[in-house]
């Protein structure tokens, strides 16, 4: 058994029941056009996308590129159907959910390559999708937060699509695992520092070189955060990832980027165990941030 598997065993089953993640209901299905689409990925297979659009809405809608969590190595876009559908309906937006390739079978950079291809496909499909590219937002939770933040870095560095805002929910950002919260919650219940180490080993490999980690894998490694989109960063108080999210937000502020930062006391990472009241506060902040980003007027 590899050290990665020892620290964070990867088992997959379909479908998964995830505490705290809403299910796609018949009412949601009736109110949405839901399509499966595919975007070409240079050097790789096409990436699968789930596209949600509210029915009967006239005019161009804001668009959200949504990147799911799951430690880079579990879960899929299908596991978050209810959440993405709920966002599309609540904010009258098109949601493009990226079903990126998973580690360890497909380590970095497969995931971010898929996400960037999805971003480019979304822009190229603007007329067909009926979207307003001035309201193009990216979001991700946990490992999806790492990929969403990396999308912003990659788009800046490649002079790629203009992203209006990034909403990062309990984001993974730093593979060095050297923050007070990472040490404080190394062996805590739920997703802890030990699992975080396993996650990075799955994503970057057991033989990874800590001196050579790409910022497109761990966005905290970026030398400069200048020129990035405005950000909302939401962290949880009992999460080992808490401090890297806060540090990233402070670095964005120092680089002159507009940032809204929330830390939810009493909330765990986002996987069981969950404190219902704390989790609800975090979800409320997340939905409010998305609403402001997608419909700023």
Residues annotated as part of the active site? 142, 239, 269
How far apart are alpha carbons 79 and 75 in whole angstroms? 6
- Residue 180, judged by CB atoms within 10 A of its CB (0-12, 13-18, 19+), counts as exposed
Give the closest residue to 152 by CA, choosing from 135, 141, 142, 137. Answer: 137
Residue 27 burial (CB count, 10 A): 10
How far apart are alpha carbons 92 and 149 in whole angstroms? 24
CB 108 within 8 A of CB 33: no
Residue 161 burial (CB count, 10 A): 19
221-254 burial string, b = 16+ CB within 10 Å, else e?
bbeebeebbbbbbbbbebbbbbbbbbebbebbee
């Amino acid at each position: 058994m590899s050290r990665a598997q020892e620290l964070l065993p990867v088992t997959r089953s379909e479908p998964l029941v995830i505490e705290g993640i809403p299910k796609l209901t018949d009412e949601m299905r009736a109110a949405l056009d839901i399509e499966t689409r595919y975007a070409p990925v240079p050097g790789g297979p096409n990436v699968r996308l789930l596209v949600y659009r509210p029915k009967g809405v006239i005019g161009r809608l804001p668009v959200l590129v949504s990147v799911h969590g799951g430690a880079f190595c579990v879960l899929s876009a299908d596991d978050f159907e209810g959440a993405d559908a709920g966002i599309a309906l609540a904010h009258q937006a098109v949601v493009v959910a990226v079903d990126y390739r998973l580690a360890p079978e497909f380590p970095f950079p497969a995931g971010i390559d898929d996400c960037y291809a999805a971003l480019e496909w979304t822009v190229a499909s603007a007329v067909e999708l009926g979207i307003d590219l001035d309201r193009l937002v990216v979001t991700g939770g946990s490992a999806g937060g790492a990929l969403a933040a990396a999308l912003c870095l990659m788009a800046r560095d490649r002079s790629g699509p203009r992203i209006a805002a990034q909403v990062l929910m309990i984001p993974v950002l730093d593979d060095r695992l050297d923050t007070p919260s990472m040490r404080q919650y190394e062996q805590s219940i739920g997703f802890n520092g030990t699992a975080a180490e396993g996650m990075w080993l799955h994503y970057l490999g057991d033989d990874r070189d800590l001196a050579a980690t790409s910022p497109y894998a761990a966005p905290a490694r970026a030398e400069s955060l200048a020129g990035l989109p405005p950000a909302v960063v939401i962290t949880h108080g009992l999460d080992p990832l808490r401090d890297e999210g806060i540090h990233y937000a402070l670095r964005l502020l120092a680089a002159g980027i507009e940032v809204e930062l929330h830390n939810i006391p009493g909330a765990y990472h986002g996987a069981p165990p969950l404190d219902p009241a704390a989790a609800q506060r975090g979800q409320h902040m997340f939905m409010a941030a998305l609403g402001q980003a997608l419909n700023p007027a």
